[in-house]
Structure 1
Amino acid sequence: MEVVYFVLSFFAISVNSIAIRGPMLTRYNPCSLGVLYFDKLTNTSWQGTINYRLYPNITDANIEITFDKPIRIFRASNNSTIYTRNNRHSFLFKPRGVPPRHYFFYIAVIDEVSNVPNVVSVKLNNYTLCNPAVKNELNIQSYNVTQPDDKSYHHVCGRRALHNAELSSMRTDAKAGDWPWHVVVLMRENILITTRYQCGGNIISRTAVLTAAHCVINNSLPLPSSLIIIGAGVENLKLLNQSGVQLHNAVNVIVNPGYKSEVATADLAIIRVNAFRYTDYVQPICLWGPSYDKSDLYGRIAVVVGFGTTEENQLSDTLRSTDTMVQNDTTCISSQPQFYTSLLNEFTFCAGLDPNPGTISRGDSGGGLTVAIVQPDHKVSWFLRGVISSCAAFIGETRCNPNFYSIYNDVGPHYGWIYHNAGLNYFSNIVY
């Protein structure tokens, strides 16, 4: 059932665990904005980042930030003026000259009852980007945008409930609702009595999950749908009966017709279910595409999540998340030509963070490589760009080699096939 490519002393294996690199990162995105976010430094201090790169044509930028508690600024980027208002609750940031691509400032939370710098409002040149009314719109009910005269269900993709959208942690165990589009693919054993974990997957519609083809193939044939259960809203594999978890029987398995076990191209499959219920813990992710050009991905930071073994090769039942970086094909090929030359093409890409690029490991197959994209409403939507396919391992080893980049199938070139088989309407993902 596993994909194997023999290349010198290495082979490619299906993958099944997230290896976390670096210390935990706690990020606060007020109103899930793309222009402003805070990274935690200590229990009481945070680095604020204003992402002026999103506004390349802006020549004069004044950002006003109001907090719900007193804040002390102890450092900021050069060439700027900061005005304090409302007894250290509000601050106006005015860069001198053309705003830098990224403006940094550092704050200390004076009130230690809560160490999160809760932002009440954000204004850019007096235009309101975030306030209590905007926050109230970050709920699951508002993501259902079906109109009375619509003949099909319409839903905003790639967004989370307010708590998970504003405050999230990376390189650590995930909380329920952090990545509501990630599912587990379970296999029935002993005539419906027990199940075992097989792979990850991604909710792309109310009736469809996108995963890796090799997860649902046995002896070159798709597995019977009667053997497959999809678990949505799962943060712990031992707690499949906890509140928020949905278990759905598969009703159909559709393998990409271009899939061949000896190559990485088209390692994609769709598992159909009757219907997910969208909740705080179960949401669809946006699809990237249609696109054959992956060069815009090179150097982009992305997020991968999954279940499986830890860095110490100990089994973990909790969902883990970490970041990775999409690499240029030439970077991966030059690191090991005999391995990557046959796996990288217009339908695949590689990713990993140097100096130990290995992030995923055995069994994470089918999970997604996701990227955050700022939308016209200034908020972030998450897009599925890659599906975890394979990694490199020494012959005889069952773990991915941490010194090797991992291989992902690019969903962009398969956009039409996915839409056709996933029960989706052909609308642009970037409407919302």
Structure 2
Amino acid sequence: MLASRITCIVFSTLCLCGVNSMYLKGPPITRYDPCGLGMIQFEKIKDKVWQGVLNLNIFNTNGINNNGIDIQINFEKRMALFEVTKNSTLTVENNERDFNIKIPSNVPVLYVFYLAVISEGVNDVPIVKRFLINNHTLCDDTIKNSQNVSKFNVTKANDTKYRHICGRRSLNHTELTSVRTNARSGDWPWHVAIVVKELVTNIDRYQCGGNIISTTAVLTAGHCVSKNSINVDPWRITILAGISNLTDLNQLGRQVHNAVQVILHPAFSDNQATADLAIIKVTSFRFTEYVQPVCIWGPVYDKSSLFGKEAIIVGFGTTEDNKLSDTLRSAYTVVQNDFTCIAYSPKLYSSLLNEFTFCAGYGPYSNVNPRNGDSGGGLVVATVQSDLAISWFLRGIVSKCGVSPGHTQCDPKFYVVYTDVAPHYGWIYHNAGLQYSSNMLH
């Protein structure tokens, strides 16, 4: 039996722990991504006011002439534009619903503009009805209607294995996402809760988070299923999928699966994050709007390309005021250069960071971080593929966090150390029943 969900490495100044819940502070951040595209997004700044960003570099790298770009955005409601990137020509038509942007040359990497919904009403989201670049339609009602779960199934008639698009969410959960706040079921459909039955009391208790990576496999942290060389037997483990609340037994989309096998990484160590991985096998998940697999990053794993990138972390557990919560929460984080974390606490991070691990967070200025309860959860990054849509890739598993002396909760001022899944891609691939294929919708 595991005596605790927290594993500590004691140093002279702090304790390092496996973690288990989300620290969130501040108002929610709402982001709108039309058609789930990776190149246009809107982030809410304040009531009715949004910042729009066009990542034009993505479009250019997909074979589009960089000598000039014509952009057309048709909004559902009337919009007021406040400010746009310079060196462009803007025309507004159709009663302030159609915006035409022309950039004749020197196309910027990012094109930024600010706008607000003029129309009165509760919904102030700048819903895009149609989005074109150089007369090429990237988003409209037809494309939106095609983004459903059934299309994620790419199994052919004669296939011997079930194949599925990974890292994609159904449209209802793709276009509008709120983070630093409670998540809805289906927002992060690969995240699961791992429940373990205690031997003495026979009570099921929440243990860790995990990530669906195939029809039969969940990837989590090794320390979630092993402590001091004592492993948790599969019969004690239950996987709750498709949920955003641990206690709502009637939640739409909820699936309950009993573990049939636990595979601990052969290089796992309680005191290190290098191979803090385990795979929990179940009979079979049913992929729905609420339950989907995440993509696995690999086998290339040069982590330097991650430094400075934004990522999403998700987890159940206690809140920023240390109150118990059964609600799934999500937040942005930033992957840091190893030197940043080592400079903050040399004795701690120099012993944990190597080519198989990385650190993330906002450090001493943080208002968001995993805490005790989020172990085994994933750090996922949005990757734009050649069809210009986002697929979410699992890059890290929550492993270790810094805890101040005399405390048991993860201190958000410390960076979190993640096990990099990419170096272990071969081991994951072999044990999870994965089958490599293209991950684009056609």
| Fold shared by both chains (TM-score > 0.5) | yes
User: Is 1:43 paired with 2:47?
Assistant: yes
Q: Which residue of 2 aligns with 1:282?
A: 291
Distance in 1 (CA, whole Å) between partners of 2:271 and 2:44 is 45
- Which one is further off, 150-159 or 6-15? 6-15
- Which one is further off, 112-121 or 200-209? 112-121
| Secondary structure, counterpart of 2:340 in structure 1 | helix
Aligned runs of 1:4-43 on 2, under 5 Å? Answer: 4-43=8-47
Distance in 2 (CA, whole Å) between partners of 1:215 and 1:240 is 23
How far does residue 85 in structure 1 lie from its aligned partner after superposition? 2.2
List structure 1 runs of 4+ shifted beyond 3 angstroms: 189-194, 426-432
Q: Which residue of 1 aligns with 2:164?
A: 155
How far does residue 17 in structure 1 lie from its aligned partner after superposition? 1.1
- Determine if contact 1:298/1:327 at 8 Å carries over to the other structure: yes
User: Is 1:413 paired with 2:423?
Assistant: yes
Q: Which residue of 2 aligns with 1:270?
A: 279
Distance in 1 (CA, whole Å) between partners of 2:402 and 2:333 is 16
Aligned runs of 1:231-270 on 2, under 5 Å? Answer: 231-270=240-279
| Secondary structure, counterpart of 2:435 in structure 1 | coil
- Report the residue type matching 1:347 in the other structure: F
- Determine if contact 2:212/2:292 at 8 Å carries over to the other structure: yes
How far does residue 135 in structure 1 lie from its aligned partner after superposition? 0.5
Aligned runs of 1:4-403 on 2, under 5 Å? Answer: 4-56=8-60, 58-113=66-121, 114-189=123-198, 194-357=203-366, 359-403=369-413
| Cα pair distance change 1:421/1:192, threshold 3 Å | farther
Give the TM-score normalised by structure 2.
0.94
- Determine if contact 1:267/1:389 at 8 Å carries over to the other structure: yes
How far does residue 67 in structure 1 lie from its aligned partner after superposition? 1.3
> After superposition, what is the alpha-carbon deviation per residue over 1:18-66, rounded to whole angstroms, capped at 9, x for unaligned?
1124431111111001111111123322111111121346231111011
Distance in 1 (CA, whole Å) between partners of 2:432 and 2:90 is 50
Distance in 2 (CA, whole Å) between partners of 1:324 and 1:392 is 16
- Determine if contact 1:74/1:106 at 8 Å carries over to the other structure: yes
Distance in 1 (CA, whole Å) between partners of 2:25 and 2:300 is 30
Distance in 1 (CA, whole Å) between partners of 2:246 and 2:200 is 20
Distance in 2 (CA, whole Å) between partners of 1:263 and 1:397 is 21
Q: Which residue of 2 aligns with 1:424?
A: 434
Distance in 2 (CA, whole Å) between partners of 1:249 and 1:82 is 57
How far does residue 399 in structure 1 lie from its aligned partner after superposition? 0.5
- Gaps of at least 5 residues in structure 2 are none
How far does residue 192 in structure 1 lie from its aligned partner after superposition? 9.5
Distance in 2 (CA, whole Å) between partners of 1:319 and 1:169 is 12
How far does residue 354 in structure 1 lie from its aligned partner after superposition? 4.2
Distance in 1 (CA, whole Å) between partners of 2:145 and 2:158 is 26
- Gaps of at least 5 residues in structure 1 are none
Distance in 2 (CA, whole Å) between partners of 1:120 and 1:258 is 51
Percent sequence identity over aligned pairs: 51
Distance in 1 (CA, whole Å) between partners of 2:144 and 2:439 is 22
Q: How many residues align?
A: 432
Distance in 1 (CA, whole Å) between partners of 2:132 and 2:34 is 12
| Secondary structure, counterpart of 1:55 in structure 2 | helix
- Which one is further off, 268-277 or 309-318? 309-318
Give the TM-score normalised by structure 1.
0.96
How far does residue 397 in structure 1 lie from its aligned partner after superposition? 1.5
- Determine if contact 2:235/2:260 at 8 Å carries over to the other structure: yes
- Report the residue type matching 1:389 in the other structure: S
Distance in 1 (CA, whole Å) between partners of 2:238 and 2:419 is 23
| Secondary structure, counterpart of 1:108 in structure 2 | strand
How far does residue 110 in structure 1 lie from its aligned partner after superposition? 1.7
Distance in 1 (CA, whole Å) between partners of 2:28 and 2:362 is 15
- Report the residue type matching 1:411 in the other structure: V
Distance in 2 (CA, whole Å) between partners of 1:430 and 1:140 is 14
How far does residue 273 in structure 1 lie from its aligned partner after superposition? 0.3
| Secondary structure, counterpart of 2:437 in structure 1 | coil
Distance in 2 (CA, whole Å) between partners of 1:116 and 1:349 is 36
Distance in 2 (CA, whole Å) between partners of 1:9 and 1:72 is 53
> After superposition, what is the alpha-carbon deviation per residue over 1:103-138, rounded to whole angstroms, capped at 9, x for unaligned?
111222122233111111110100010111111121
| Secondary structure, counterpart of 1:141 in structure 2 | helix
| Secondary structure, counterpart of 2:178 in structure 1 | strand
